[in-house]
Structure 1
């Protein structure tokens, strides 16, 4: 059974991510964990806390969270009455990052799906602060869905890589099974001045081929020094439906995620983005 965690702040963007997840996994037996972490909401209104005790405010915010989750669940079952899907709602007096981490460990979650931005994030940035935190620190694949993105079957996927990292079988299997119902074509893109691969790179390339066996794979090389520009150009020219990258130490994606400003990614990523975390998990 596929286990999917979807954090929500009850925004349109969060609901959009839920809709995407329901469509993407409509053929798989899946358990969805819809989670709202509300600790930040307790302290959001200092005036309210000064008027009432912390206990009263916490109780009120907690009840509101549970009510909103019930409403969300009703909406989900109305728009997608899928017998393959089951749902669990989690209302937690915790911060988003810690609760996400906890559920991933407790439930052995396969993938986190979330909107790229919440209620109050800047329109100019691609990833809101919560999404960035989860991408950076939670040891689980994360699929980020852009604001207002209308579901499109993931038929053409771009996976830029240098073939230098030891990919994790569980994560490649997730990608393989997630997109194979759509007869996806996966373009592995090696951005380099040299077309020659080392023995290590060839071994990793063979491993990818074995693990993504249910899909058509193209192994492409682009001669370029400008990785970000090359990826964007490729996305636009080839009409890519999903971008997949691996987040690991010293990787291209890590460099992007840990920059002081993420705006350098030129940044108008308007397709779903799957970050594999290259973590060893059972």
Structure 2
């Protein structure tokens, strides 16, 4: 993990993403990019100098220029507050709306990980497109960590992986496990594979065998396996991660962009909304 993107709308919730990045141990030696995604008329030079060329100043742009200058100042203050000598923070205003901007920024800068805050809510207006975090998960070509308002640092040497062995032809499990291995090694963390089963209905021994074969096939490293009986998969995973004081709860997802998102229920979406443990989501269809 060499480069981390933190999309920021300059709220307290998005600041939690920066806190998590700085809570990661020194072994997690990655560059941090703190970026606000806002459409503006000022060009890329503004992100470097903070100056505004007179040609951009007209009646239509006065408000936009004022807003971007304020955002830029706030980003600078955040970066200064959290930066250290060994872990500087790059910051900029990126001329794009969030979803398209993140996609372009990740590609242009070879980003390995996205960390972003989420309110855990979805308005009626967002139903078809998803909340901001879910929109990013749907298009992200790298892992996304979502973090809620009540963030408390857990034990980052523990990653709980909620795993189902079901797959479809577009799933890239090998690359997903490579990402997770990389993340775990950067944190000096152990992965605990967890599968939540219906109490009294599923064979624990058979499920453990399936999970072990899966981990071996896709080269998952430094892991243990737990099969947990619980009537609700989402709550079972959340409770397990909380009881372990895990620093991260990881899931692989089939999250789809656009209209198809309303045709399938995404466990990753529910977890990012309800889990107090930060959730690592790796989209099997995009990586």
Q: TM-score range by the shorter chain?
A: 0.7 to 0.9
TM-score normalised to structure 1 length:
0.74
**Structure 2 residue ranges without an equivalent (≥5):** 41-57, 124-129
SS at match of 2:10: coil
What's the counterpart of residue 45 of structure 1?
Answer: none
Does structure 1 residue 222 correspond to structure 2 residue 228? yes
What's the counterpart of residue 47 of structure 2?
Answer: none
- From 179, 183, 189, the equivalent of 1:178 is 183
Change (3 A) 1:159 1:225: same
What's the counterpart of residue 81 of structure 1?
Answer: 85
- From 131, 152, 155, the equivalent of 2:154 is 152
Q: Tell whether the 8 Å contact from 1:163 to 1:205 is kept in structure 2 after alignment.
A: no
Shift in Å, 1:58: 2.1
- Matched residues, number: 250
Root-mean-square deviation (CA), in Å? Answer: 3.5
Q: Distance in 1 between matches of 2:272 and 2:154?
A: 23
Shift in Å, 1:134: 1.3
Q: Tell me the alpha carbon deviations over residues 180-223 of structure 1, each in whole angstroms, 9 at most, x when there is no partner.
A: 36543322122342443699866532134x332xx3x1122234
Change (3 A) 1:76 1:202: closer
Q: Distance in 2 between matches of 1:235 and 1:220?
A: 12
Q: Tell whether the 8 Å contact from 1:168 to 1:279 is kept in structure 2 after alignment.
A: no
- From 191, 194, 198, the equivalent of 1:189 is 194
Change (3 A) 1:266 1:138: closer
Change (3 A) 1:201 1:233: closer
What's the counterpart of residue 19 of structure 1?
Answer: 19
Question: 1:24-39, aligned counterparts within 5 Å?
Answer: 24=24, 26-39=26-39
- From 207, 210, 230, the equivalent of 2:217 is 207
Q: Distance in 2 between matches of 1:237 and 1:96?
A: 34
What's the counterpart of residue 92 of structure 2?
Answer: 90
Q: Distance in 2 between matches of 1:150 and 1:258?
A: 20
What's the counterpart of residue 125 of structure 1?
Answer: none
Q: Distance in 1 between matches of 2:98 and 2:133?
A: 10
Shift in Å, 1:172: 2.6
Change (3 A) 1:176 1:227: same
TM-score normalised to structure 2 length:
0.73
What's the counterpart of residue 275 of structure 1?
Answer: 281
Shift in Å, 1:246: 0.5
What's the counterpart of residue 61 of structure 2?
Answer: 55
Q: Distance in 1 between matches of 2:255 and 2:66?
A: 42
Q: Distance in 1 between matches of 2:253 and 2:122?
A: 23
**Structure 1 residue ranges without an equivalent (≥5):** 41-51, 123-127
